[in-house]
Amino acid sequence: MFRRLALPLIKKCLVNTKYLQVRHLEVAIVGAANHIGSNLALLLLQNPKITKLNLYDDDDKVRGIGMELAYFSDGPKVVSYSGDNFLPAAVRYANLIVMVSRTARKSGQSRQQMLAANAPAVHKLCKVISEQNCDAFLAISTNPINSIVPFASTLMLHYNTYNPFKICGITHIDTARCRTFAGNALNVSPRRLQVPVICGHSEETIVPLFSNLAPCNYSLDSCKADTLTRLLRKAGTEVINHKTGEDSAILCMAWSIGEFVERMLIALSGYETAVHCFSANPHFGTRFFAGPTLVGAQGIVQVCSNLPMSEYETGLLNRSIPVLNKEVCAGESYINVMN
């Protein structure tokens, strides 16, 4: 599937790469003063398609971060906005809004606790987007993604601005980790590999499809696939443990969100491309599902369906779906808790 999604992109990019170099898109990072947000902003400075980069945070520190980034004269115009009153201005003209605000996951914290910690910031943002710029594409990396994206979608529905093609959770981190683990196991550069990762973004719902490993001359036996699946599911928690339980992944998150944004900007420039994301998808017995997704100028063009799977992967997916459904429902019904 990923191969099928990726090939048209390569062809289209070859047609006219000149347009892709023209600065014409505005991006807003919401949560730009946290470590993921500021690292992401630094990475996005190098993107030739961004004409203006808006940095928003509740924390006034964002002004200092914006000041630093504005010193790079080759990059886009950088403007910082701090405090609730400036959120409308930060998102009003953005083509792409990237939500990275978060209370970092601590050791032992449950997904429900994370939802409670992060829902207020998502609520505030969805309300402002609905009032100011409901045509923008909203990409969310705030955890727990399995509940936060359904929560945000329900809020948009409540404000009559829900567009399932313009909202998703960013799950590039899972395929980035998966490529690295597979590359190490096969002793090849991860850069040469593609592995679709589907279902959700939590220890019990991440489902890597090593049977779809590309290029197809590489393969992993079922025992290796099982070991790497366990490794992938625990990867986020391992980082937290190595940070003495105090913080979750930052740098790899910023990098993988940067990779997602780069592809999204190609898509918004009119060239369909594939990303890994968590979005509305009815094909697997859930309302939301993660996987390789085709995006274009108007947002999501095609979500994944009918993926070939090994017996092991089918079993894993069947066990993951009920967990995902529970997390999706928790997000959708959280609007009642907040009202």
Which active-site residues does the annotation give?
201
Q: How far apart are CA 326 and CA 241, in angstroms?
A: 26
Q: Is the preceding omega at residue 120 within 30 degrees of 0, hence cis?
A: no
Nearest to ligand LMR of 69, 148 (CB atom): 148
Query: Site for ligand LMR (CB under 6 A): how many residues?
Result: 8
What does the buried/exposed string (b/e) look like for 240-263 if buried means 16 or more CB atoms within 10 Å of the residue's CB?
beeeeeeebbbebbbbbbbbbbbb
User: How many alpha carbons lie under 13 Å from residue 292 in its C-beta half-sphere?
Assistant: 23
Nearest to ligand LMR of 9, 29 (CB atom) = 29
Please list every residue from 130 through 149 that binds ligand LMR, using CB under 6 A.
Answer: 143
Name the β-bridge partners of 293: 275
d(CA 275, CA 261): 9
DSSP 34-54: SHHHHHHHHHHTT-TTEEEEE
31: left (phi over 0), alpha (psi -120 to 50) or beta: left
State in angstroms the smallest separation of the CB of 174 from ligand LMR: 7
Cβ 75 to ligand LMR, closest distance in Å? 27
User: Is residue 169 close enough to count as binding ligand LMR by CB under 6 A?
Assistant: no
Q: Which residue's CB is nearer to ligand LMR, number 115 or number 249?
A: 249
Contact pattern from residue 84 through residue 123 relative to ligand LMR, giving x for each residue in contact according to CB under 6 A and a dash for the rest: ---------------------x------------------
C-beta nearest to ligand LMR: residue: 236
The residues with which 289 forms a beta bridge, in sequence order, are 279
Segment interacting with ligand LMR, rule: CB under 6 A, options 92-100, 124-132, 179-187, 245-253:
245-253
Contact between 295 and 139 (Cβ < 8 Å):
no
Q: From residue 252 to residue 271, what is the string marking binding to ligand LMR with x (rule CB under 6 A)?
A: -x------------------
Per-residue contact string for residues 170-209; x = within reach of ligand LMR by CB under 6 A: ---x------------------------------------
What backbone phi and psi angles, to 5 degrees, belong to 140? -115, 130
Pairing of strands 206-208, 299-302: unpaired
249 is an interface residue for ligand LMR by CB under 6 A: yes
When binding is defined by CB under 6 A, the residue of 66, 76, 236, 299 that contacts ligand LMR is 236
Residue 232 near ligand LMR by CB under 6 A: no
Identity of the residue, 39 or 143, whose beta carbon is nearer to ligand LMR in the bound complex: 143
Q: Which residues bind ligand LMR (CB under 6 A)?
A: 105, 143, 173, 236, 239, 248-249, 253
